[in-house]
Amino acid sequence: MLKFFNSLFGRVVIALVAGIVIGAVFPHFAQSLRPLGDGFLKLIKMVIGPIVFCVVVSGMAHAGDLRKVGRVGLKSVIYFEIMTTIALVIGAVLAYATRPGVGMNINLHSLDPASLATYTEHAKSLKDTAGFLLKIIPDTAINAFATGDILQILVFSVLFGSALSLLGNKAQRVSSLIDELSQVFFRVMGFIIKLAPLGVLGAIAFTTGTYGVESLKQLGMLVLVFYASCFVFVVVVLGIVMRLAGFSIFKLIRYLREELSIVLGTASSDAVLPQIMRKLEWMGVKDSTVGLVIPTGYSFNLDGFSIYLTLAVIFIAQATNTPLSIHDLIVVVLVSLVTSKGAHGIPGSAIVILAATLSAIPAIPVLGLVLILPVDWFVGIARALTNLIGNCVATVVVAVWENDIDRARAHRVLNRDEALRYVPAGEDAGVEPAAGEHVPAV
C-alpha cells in the first residue's frame, strides 16, 4: 500500500478522487482550482516542441541510412491510414447499431448558433486538402515552435535531421549538442511531471464543480456509446494487432498506467508525450523509430478521435432527423480521413474538426454541433486515452515490422522484471538510458 501512495500513479489516483469530492462538496471553490489544470498543461506544452525536435533529429542522426527513415515513415503512414479507416467504420457501425440520437427530434431553430462561432471560424482552413497541406508548413521555423504546432515542428525536424544525417562527421558537434539538449529537456520534464497530481486535481475538481457529480455518471447515450466503442477498439482491434506483433495489449496498458492516469485527469494526451517516448525506448524500441512514429501519430493516428468523428456526425443527423444516404456515409468517411489529421490532443479541437467535416457535407446541419458541446470534455477523456494507446501500439508494430525492437527486453519490461524497472526522468536511480541513447541490444 505504501508503494502505491509513493508512486506517481497512486498520487494521481488520489488527486482524481479528491478532485471529485471537492467538486461535489465545494463546487464554487472547485471552479477556482481550474488554473492548476491549465497551468500544468501549459508547462507541458512549454517543452513539448523542443523535445520533439531533439528526439526526431537525434533519432535520424543515429539511424544513419535515410532510406531506412523513409521506409519507417512510409510504413507508419500506411498503418495509420488502415487503423484510422477501421476506427471511422467502427464509429459509424455502432452509431447505427445503437441509434443514440434517434427520438431526440431537435428543432434547429431552437439552437443557439453563437456558441459555435469560434469553432466554425477555425474550421474554415481545414475544409479542403490543400488548406490542410499548407497548414502543416510553418511560416518560419521559429513560428512552429512559438505556436507549439507538433506537425509543423515535425516537418522542420525531419528536414533538419535529414541534413544532419547527410553531413555526417562534419556536423558531429551539432549532433552532440542536440543529444545533450535532449537530456536537459527531459530532466526539465521530470520536474514538471511531479506536478501531475496537482494538475489532475484542478482539472477534475473544476469539471465536477461546474457540471455536478451527476454529469460524471449520467452523460447520455452518446457518451456511453463512445466509451463502449473505444473499449471495443482497444481490446479487440488493438488487442489483435498487438497479439500478431507478439505482445499483450493489457501488459502494455499496465506498463503505461501512470501516463494513462494523467490523461484520464487532464483529457489531454499532449501531457504525457515526452514520457511515452522515453518509456517506449526503455521498453526496447529503437529511439529513431520512437522519434518518428510517436510525433507523427499525434497528428495522423487519432484512433479515438476518428471513432468519435463518424459517431458524432451520425448522432447529429439522427437527432435532427436528417436522412443520410449511402453516398453521404461514404463522403463522411472520406472527408474524415482528411479532416481527422488536423486534430490535436487538447480538448476543444474536436469541435473544430467536426465543424470542418460537416461544412463539407451539406446534408448534415453544422448547427447540430451545439448538441454535443456540453459533453465534449467528458468525451475528450476516452478520446485522448484511445489516441495515446493507439499511437503506442503503432510504434510497437512498426518497430516489429522493421526489426527495431529488442523482443526479449520488451517482454521482460512488460512482465515487470524488477531489474528493468523504469524510473522517471528526474529521479537519480542510475538505471535510465540517456535521451537519444540506444537501449541495450537494439
Is the pLDDT at 362 greater than 90, yes or no? no
Q: Tell me the one-letter amino acid at 247.
A: F
On whether residue 435 sits in a domain, the answer given is no
- 53-62, 186-195, 298-307, 340-349: least confidently modelled range: 340-349
Query: pLDDT class for 241, splitting at 50, 70, 90?
Result: very high
Separation between Cα atoms, residue 298 and residue 148, nearest integer Å: 13
- Set of cell numbers at residue 105: 427530434
- Set of cell numbers at residue 191: 520536474
H or E element at residue 256:
none
The confidence score (pLDDT) of residue 129 equals 55
Query: pLDDT class for 115, splitting at 50, 70, 90?
Result: very low
- 290-299, 302-311, 406-415: least confidently modelled range: 290-299
Under a CB-based contact definition with an 8 Å cutoff, are residues 218 and 290 in contact? no
Of the candidates 227, 262, 251, the residue with the CA atom closest to the CA atom of residue 392: 251
Separation between Cα atoms, residue 106 and residue 369, nearest integer Å: 12
Under a CB-based contact definition with an 8 Å cutoff, are residues 321 and 364 in contact? no
Average predicted confidence (pLDDT) for the chain:
78
Q: Tell me the one-letter amino acid at 333.
A: V
Domain range enclosing 391: 2-420
Separation between Cα atoms, residue 261 and residue 424, nearest integer Å: 15
The number of distinct structural domains making up the chain is 1
Q: Dump pLDDT digits (tens) for 48-57.
A: 788 878 877 8
Q: Dump pLDDT digits (tens) for 373-398.
A: 656 777 888 888 999 999 999 999 99
Of the candidates 263, 191, 254, the residue with the CA atom closest to the CA atom of residue 425: 191
Between vectors from CA 58 to CA 56 and to CA 61, what angle results, nearest 5°?
Answer: 110
314 contacts: CB under 8 Å, gap ≥ 6 = 91, 92, 95, 96, 101, 324, 332
Phi/psi of residue 106, each to 5°? -75, 130
Separation between Cα atoms, residue 241 and residue 354, nearest integer Å: 28
- 118-127, 191-200, 275-284: least confidently modelled range: 118-127
On whether residue 427 sits in a domain, the answer given is no
Residue percentage of the chain with pLDDT more than 70:
77
On whether residue 440 sits in a domain, the answer given is no
Of the candidates 66, 53, 42, 85, the residue with the CA atom closest to the CA atom of residue 300: 85
The confidence score (pLDDT) of residue 167 equals 83
CA-to-CA separations, 174 to 11, 57, 153, 308, 414, in angstroms, rounded: 39, 10, 18, 43, 35
Q: Dump pLDDT digits (tens) for 204-234.
A: 788 678 766 554 443 467 888 999 999 999 9
The confidence score (pLDDT) of residue 217 equals 45
Query: pLDDT class for 440, splitting at 50, 70, 90?
Result: very low
Separation between Cα atoms, residue 333 and residue 118, nearest integer Å: 25
Separation between Cα atoms, residue 41 and residue 226, nearest integer Å: 25
Q: Tell me the one-letter amino acid at 203.
A: A
Q: Is the dihedral of CA 57, 62, 68, 74 positive or negative?
A: negative
**CATH value at residue 31:** 1.10.3860.10
Query: pLDDT class for 113, splitting at 50, 70, 90?
Result: low
On whether residue 259 sits in a domain, the answer given is yes
On whether residue 88 sits in a domain, the answer given is yes
Q: Dump pLDDT digits (tens) for 324-333.
A: 778 777 877 7
Separation between Cα atoms, residue 384 and residue 387, nearest integer Å: 5
On whether residue 428 sits in a domain, the answer given is no
